[in-house]
Amino acid sequence: MTKSWFEIFIGALLEVVWVSAMKHNHSLLSAIIVILILILSFYLMVDASKNIPAGTTYAVYVGLGSLFVVLAGVLVYHEAFNLTKLCFLILLTIGVIGLKRVTDIEERQAH
């Protein structure tokens, strides 16, 4: 995995952290920490877009972030999970993997 794809993956994981932290944000200090994590998450996405097309970067970042946030909601916060949600998560995952594969193929053809 290249550095840029790694940045997208870490940025998406940080999205889970800041989204989850908002749920427990009860002080100015915790709000500042949430904002710093959010900034780092966005920075990683923006830095990755220097080497990967911006549309692909954003779609994969948001797709992975959404997938991770839903999984955290189910596993950590015991939110409801059903077959419909599973189907959409599978579709989302297929889309993210598809975008990565297409981008990798395009990069190889360009070189």
Nearest to 57 by CA among 108, 6, 19: 6
pTM score, whole prediction: 0.84
Give the range of the structural domain holding residue 61, as residue numbers without chain letter: 3-110
63 exposure class (CB count in 10 Å sphere: 0-12, 13-18, 19+): buried
- Contact criterion met (CB below 8 Å) for 14 and 68: no
Q: Reply yes or no on whether the pLDDT at 49 is more than 70.
A: yes
Q: How many Cβ atoms from other residues are within 10 Å of residue 102's Cβ?
A: 12
Give CA–CA dist 6/4, Å, rounded: 5
Residue 1 pLDDT > 60: no
Question: Tokens 């692909």 belong to which residue?
Answer: 56
Q: Which of 61, 75, 68, 58 is nearest to 89 (CA)?
A: 68
Average pLDDT, the chain: 91
**Amino acid 10: pLDDT:** 97
State the pLDDT at residue 105: 84
Q: What is residue 94's predicted lDDT score, i.e. its pLDDT?
A: 93
- Overall domain count for the chain: 1
pLDDT computed for residue 72 by the predictor: 92
